[in-house]
Structure 1
Amino acid sequence: MKNTLALLGGLSPTTFLRDYWHKKPLLIRQAIPGFTPLLSRQELFDLAAREDVESRLIRQNGDDWRMDHGPLAKLPPLREKEWTMLVQGVNLHDDAADALLRQFRFIPDARLDDLMISYASDGGGVGPHFDSYDVFLLQAHGRRRWRISAQQDLSLVDGMPLKILKNFQSEQEFVLEPGDMLYLPPHYAHDGIAVGECMTYSVGFRAPAFQELGEAFLQFMADSIDLPGRYADPELTPTRHPAELPAPLLARVTEEINKMRFTDDDVTIFLGEYLSEPKASVYFDPVDKPLTPARFVQAANKRGIKLSRKTQMLYRGKHVFINGESFAVGRADKTVLSMLADERRLDKSALQHASEDVMEAFHNWYQDGWLELF
């Protein structure tokens, strides 16, 4: 709680969520005093050049914007002005970045997305825009000038590779130094410009569109639909309009389709699998020479275990979800598994309560790279 209070400028998570979350911006000076970049400039550039890392390069020339997607093997000269490199999901590849992201776990994991790092040369930015999700913008190196606005006009410039606001009107302006942080709710217009070379860390949150969820849910439920029987019309009479859909056909099919019902359990299992599913760019590295089950149990009981940085583990009721998979568990196993999901690690004392079935699952996850030994 003490660290969270500092992170939120002395506000408790309860107060922040009540007064600011989804409502209004919050500028927090020295949210993390003395903060320095977790990765050097070169380490960040090396990440951007990898196939398994999502990155973008954005360059501005007056009113013209250009965006290139990674891998970014070659970047503009450092002395060149007005370019920005964005690297998504840095928390998946670096322990310190993952630890920083986890400081925001007063928000449920189901909503927490990733840590993005923006590197910009002098004058660099991505233009005035808005996000559809909440974001915390932590200054890591150098300075960035933020202009923000609560404007309702969110119309965009046509024909741009980026979503640039057409009529941005700044209402407030701040210059952030290393350790300063700005929170912005969804759809709050903002424009950040680098003052000299700078790095900004963005903690973003998942806010899937209901249309996206609805389509995914119907696909998820497709294999579960059970409508036995076949259409028949033994009472059929001659028609004078052969091209017209018969009313009895429509009524009968409507009746059958209306028999489909979705339960709370259906939605819970869908949502748990959907929100724990790794992104397309995420790859796990299986253990080359895994320990045998017996040796693994010995090592785990001695050293403890932890989830991989890339693993997303959630739970609800009797259901446990991990990396897009789900299973139901009994009360005793649920205690151990929910502790692992919440703490993302289990020490040897906690493992004493794990059943053989749970230890077998841990061994499988260890082999797949989802879980690691301390």
Structure 2
Amino acid sequence: MLGGLTVNEFLRDYWQKKPLLIRKAFPDFNGLLDPQQLIELACEEDVQARIVTQSRGQFGLRHSPFMPEDFDGFGKAKWTVLVQGVNHFLPEASELLRHFSFIPHARLDDLMVSYAPKGGGVGPHFDSYDVFLLQGLGHRRWQISTQEDQTLIEGAPLRILKDFRVEQEWVLEAGDMLYLPPHCAHNGIAEDDCMTYSIGFRTPAYQELAEQFLVYLQDRIEVDGMYADPDLKAQKHPSEISAAMLRQVEQAIKQVRWDKEDIANFLGCYLSEPKPHIFFDIPGCPLTLAKFRQALHKRGVALDLKSQMLSHGEWIFMNGEAFQPQEGDYPLLRDLADWRELPAQADCSPELSELLYQWYLDGYLTPR
């Protein structure tokens, strides 16, 4: 998959450093969907999708929801449909992502699949995240540049580079894959009817993390006492915030503390939180706890395709919630987080089976 490189060699020499073209990374890969199946998926109510058009040098952008007729009548315009989170709907897509487990799950965003007829593309641009571009159906020409100039075309509905200078280009066919680090400018152009599978890895900005950490803290901090000024003195300027008030409030705010465990729990909850448009389907006729335990004993369980599960220290994070299981149960839950399934469990503690059962009722997992 990595063109003869070991995982350690790839991480050392290429990850977040420079592009890598891998011919026949997946020799037998011809795609997981055909164009019509992707269009049908783009029309599903809970799917995020976009249509990008290009006509006479001008780009257009439309967001889902779509109807089938939205894909008719493009005329001479070049167009592309892009569908996010295909791994949330297609088991085979989730299986494809297993090949990339050498990158921590906390970094994984999703699998986006795009289809374009000849000439289609989204224009020269750069992303702020790492991405593997795996070719399925057809052929796509990829042009890349490590240019520092990232000036964008003003007023365009997409982040299109104003002055894109091609340094390298290749035509990828089924099974070929191109890795691009963040901010590597690139432009993909369909040579014929083609589909590309983009495995993206999130790189949250520190500003975003800091803001969300403060939101996380607001429900977890306690600052004792109330403001008081029994020794208040008359002020020459009543509009002025006094030095005494500043000192008192400063001392109160200094009571806010956090440590590494707070940060780890925040990351676990934040990075496992499903995106706002994601909803889980609860079982229509749920098993009783006793029946669920029998299924767990005989068959094991598997995570729902939409579930996000992470682990750290003694904590497990499932879809934005933190859990601290018993010490003996932690390795099994970590295995579930690692591999997204647990084999049949002959010796499962009552506490663990009850936790898994609650997740089953929430739609987070199901018996295999």
Which TM-score tier does this pair reach, normalised by the shorter chain?
over 0.9
The answer on 1:370 being equivalent to 2:360 is no
Shift of 1:291: 1.1
Q: Is the 8 A contact 2:325 2:352 kept in 1?
A: no
Residue 62 (structure 1) aligns with: 56
In the TM superposition, what whole-angstrom CA distance separates every residue of 1:301-343 from its partner, at most 9, and x where no partner exists? 1112111111111110111100111111232011111111112
* 8 Å CA contact 2:151, 2:162 repeated in 1: yes
Contiguous gaps of at least 5 residues in structure 2? none
1:88-111 deviation digits (Å, cap 9, x = unpaired): 000100011111112101000000
Of residues 6, 17, 23, the one that matches 2:11 is 17
Give, in angstroms, the shift of residue 237 of structure 1. 2.2
| Partner Cα separation in structure 1 for residue 352 and residue 324 of structure 2 | 12
> Could you report, residue by residue, the CA deviation over 1:120-140 in whole angstroms, capped at 9, with x for unpaired residues?
011000000000000000110
Structure 1 CA distance for aligned equivalents of residues 264 and 233 of structure 2: 46
Q: Distance in 1 between matches of 2:367 and 2:226?
A: 54
SS of 2:139's equivalent in the other structure is: strand
Deviation at 1:247, TM superposition (A): 0.7
Q: Which string of whole-angstrom CA distances, capped at 9 and with x for unpartnered residues, describes residues 159-199 of structure 1?
A: 01100001110100111011100000000000010001110
2: distance between equivalents of 1:45 and 1:240?
71
Match of 2:126 among 123, 127, 130: 130
On the 8 A contact 1:86/1:118 being kept in 2, the answer is yes
Contact 2:117/2:193 (CA < 8 Å) preserved in 1? yes
Q: Given the alignment of the two structures, is residue 338 of structure 1 paired with residue 338 of structure 2, yes or no?
A: no
| CA–CA distance in structure 1, aligned partners of residues 329 and 300 of structure 2 | 17
| Candidates 22, 25, 35, aligned match of 1:28 | 22
Match of 2:219 in 1: 223
Q: Read off the aligned partner of 1:18 and give its amino acid letter.
A: R
1:48 to 39, 42, 46: 42
Contact 1:79–1:121 at 8 Å: present in 2 too? Answer: no
* Rounded Cα–Cα distance in structure 2 between residues aligned with 1:328 and 1:235: 48
| Structure 2 residue corresponding to 1:249, chosen from 241, 245, 249 | 245
1:71 maps to a residue whose letter is P
> How far does residue 250 in structure 1 lie from its aligned partner after superposition?
0.7
What amino acid is aligned across from residue 206 of structure 1 in structure 2?
Answer: R
Deviation at 1:156, TM superposition (A): 0.6
Instruction: Name the counterpart of 2:93.
Output: 97
Relative to structure 1, the CA distance from residue 156 to residue 78 in structure 2 (aligned partners, 3 Å threshold; closer, same or farther) is closer
Q: Residue 195 of structure 1 corresponds to which residue in structure 2?
A: 191
Query: 1: distance between equivalents of 2:211 and 2:332?
Result: 34
Q: Which residue does 2:321 correspond to in 1?
A: 325
The normalised TM-score by structure 1 is 0.95
1:338-357 alignment to 2 at 5 Å?
Answer: 338-348=334-344, 351-357=345-351
Q: Is the 8 A contact 1:336 1:353 kept in 2?
A: no
CA distance in 2: counterparts of 1:210 and 1:122, whole angstroms:
39
Tell me the TM-score normalized by structure 2: 0.97
> What code does the residue aligned with 1:155 have?
T
Contact 1:156 / 1:166 at 8 angstroms: preserved in 2? yes
Q: Which residue of 1 aligns with 2:110?
A: 114
**What is the letter of the counterpart of residue 36 of structure 2?**
Q
User: What percent of counterpart residues are identical?
Assistant: 52
CA distance in 1 between counterparts of 2:203 and 2:270 reads: 13
Q: In 1, are the aligned partners of 2:55 and 2:76 still within 8 Å (CA)?
A: no
| Conserved? CA contact 2:53–2:79, under 8 Å | yes
In structure 1, the residue matched to 2:352 is 358
**Cα-to-partner distance string for 1:10-46 (whole Å, 9 max, x where unaligned):** 1111110000000000000000113112112211111
Gaps of 5+ in 1: 1-6
